[in-house]
Amino acid sequence: MELTGHHLIGDTTGAVGQETFQAQDPSSQAVLSPAFHEATVSEVGMALRLGQECFDTFRATTAENRAVFLEAIADEVMALGDALLERAHQETGLPMARLTGERGRAVNQAKLFAGLIREGSWVDARIDLALPDRQPLPKPDIRRMLAPIGPVVVFGASNFPLAISVVGTDTISALGAGCPVVVKGHPGHPGVCEMLGRAIQNAVKKCDLPPGVFSLLQGAGHELGVTLVQHPITQAVAFTGSLRGGRALFDVANARKEPIPFYAEMGSINPVFVLPGAAAERGASIAEQFVQSVGLGVGQFCTNPGMLIGLKSEFLDDLTQKTADAAEAAGPATMLHQGIAEAYNEGLDKIKSIEGVKTCGASSVASDAAKNQAACHIFEANLDTLFDHPELKEENFGPSSVILKADSAEQLEQAAEGLEGQLTATIHGTEDDLQKHGKLIRILERKVGRLIFNGFPTGIEVCPSMHHGGPYPAATHGFFTSIGTASILRFVRPLCYQNFPDAGLPVELRNKNERGILRLVDNAWTRDDIQ
C-alpha cells in the first residue's frame, strides 16, 4: 500500500492544511516518508458532520450487519500482510514478534466484539409489563435498553500501534455499539494509522455502510485534539495516554456548554506487595518475574510495576539481590520515540536525586542515546522514604522500579492507604499471608481496578470479565473499562419506552424475542417470548 499522508474523511481524502509532520525511526532517527498533513478545523467539522449525518442510518443497522462489519475489519487488517508489521516496526522500534502478537490481539478482539453484538444480550433489555387494573393507579408498560450515543472521538495510543489505536478496542467497541467514529491518529506511527484506516474504509465499502461511519484525522500538535473534544457533534471521547494530556482534555470536555463523557486511561505505578510467606517460599522466582514484568515492552505498558513493597527480612534482602542480578542481565532496548526516551532518563535522574534511594541493580550494558534506548534500573529504599518523598509514587514510563522495605504490617497498610487510584495492585503471598494481611487487601480493593494474586499486571487478557481502569488518576471514570467487552458500555446510554405499540419498539424489546437474547421481564431473567 502506498502511503499518501492524507486524512481519511468518510470515503474521501483530505490534505487542506499546509503544515506537515513526518514519522521517525526511533532506532536510527531516520525520517520516514511521506509527510503527513495536520488536520484543519474545517476537516474536523467535515468528518464529524459526516458521522452525525449517518448516525441514524448506522444505529438502525441490524446486529448481524454490525457483527459482519467488525469481522470484515479483521479480515482487511490481515489482508495488509507483513507490510503493516514492517511499517509498525519502522515507526515504533517494537520487535516483529511483539507486533505480530499485537496484530493477532487486534483481530481477535474485533471478532470477540462481533460475537458479543451477534448474541445481543449486552443491550440489557428490561421489560415491565402493564397492569391496567392496578389500584389506585394503573401501571404503564415500560421497556428499556442501551442505545448508542452518537459520533465518538478516539485518540490512538503510542505504545500499542495496532491493538489500542485505529483498530483498537475503543474504535471496535464504539462501532459495534452503532456509533460513528473519528480517530485522531497518533503522530508516532501515522503510517500505521493510515494503513489501518484504509482497512476500515475498505470494510465500510464492502459492507455497504454509510461512508461517514469512520474517519481518520492526522496531527502532531495539541490543537487537533482540543478541536475534536470541543466540537459540539462529539458525544464521547476515548483516550489512552499520559496523565498530563488526559487531564487537559478531560477539562476541555467538562468545560463545554454541553459536557460529554471523556474516558481516559492515564497510567499507573501498579504496586506489587510481597508478603513474608511468599518471600520465604519463592523469592527468587518472584524476583525474576518481577524484572521481566518491569522490562516488558521496554517498560512502555501502563501496567508495568513501578514499585515493590515488602516487610524487611533476610528473604526480602535475598529477593532484592536477585532482582538486582536480573536487572544487570537485562539489555537496553529502543523506546517508542525520542521524547519518551528523554522523559525516562529525566525520571531516572529525579529518582536518583532523592535522599535515601540507591541503585541496587541496572543493566550492565549502557544504553545508546542515538538509538533512543532505555536500560533497566531497580532502586531500593526504606518505606519511610516514600512517606517523605511522595514523588516516588509518580510513574516513570519505562523499565525502572523501586523496592521499598517496610518495618511493619502497619507500614504496608499506610503505604497502601497513601496510594492514588491505580489500574492494578499485585499481592504475592500464601493463604496464611492473606489471613494475616486482610486489612491490606481491603485497602487495596478501594484503590485499584484489578487486584492480582501471585502474578504480575503485564499481559492483559482481553475477555468479558477484564476491567482495565481504576479510580482517578488511573482513569477519569473508574466504573468503566477500556479493555474487554464491557468497554462497549462507554458508548451507549439507557433509553426507555413507555406504552409504545409493539411494532414501534426496537426488536430487542418486542413481545416476540426474535433474537433470543436474555431479558429481564417482570423481574425474572428469561429468553422466552412475551405471550
The catalytic position among 38, 102, 194, 265 is 265
- 265 part of the active site: yes
Asked if residue 151 has a cis previous peptide bond (ω within 30° of 0), the answer is no
Half-sphere exposure of 432 (CA within 13 A, CB side): 6
Say if CB 276 and CB 428 are below 8 A apart. Answer: no
The DSSP secondary structure of 161-227, one letter per residue, reads: TTTSSTTSHHHHHHHHHT--EEEE--TTSHHHHHHHHHHHHHHHHHTT--GGGEEEE--SSHHHHHH
Find residue 414's DSSP bridge partners: none
Grid cell at residue 346: 529525566
CB neighbourhood size of 137 (10 A): 7
**Plot region of 358 (φ>0 → left; ψ -120 to 50 → alpha; else → beta):** beta
Q: Report the distance separating Cα 523 and Cα 525, nearest Å.
A: 7
Residues 302, 376, 380, 395: which is the catalytic one? 302
Cα–Cα distances in Å, from 336 out to 32, 65, 217, 390?
A: 14, 37, 21, 28
Give dist(CA 224, CA 44) in Å, integer: 8
Catalytic annotation present for 281: no
Active-site residue set: 265, 302
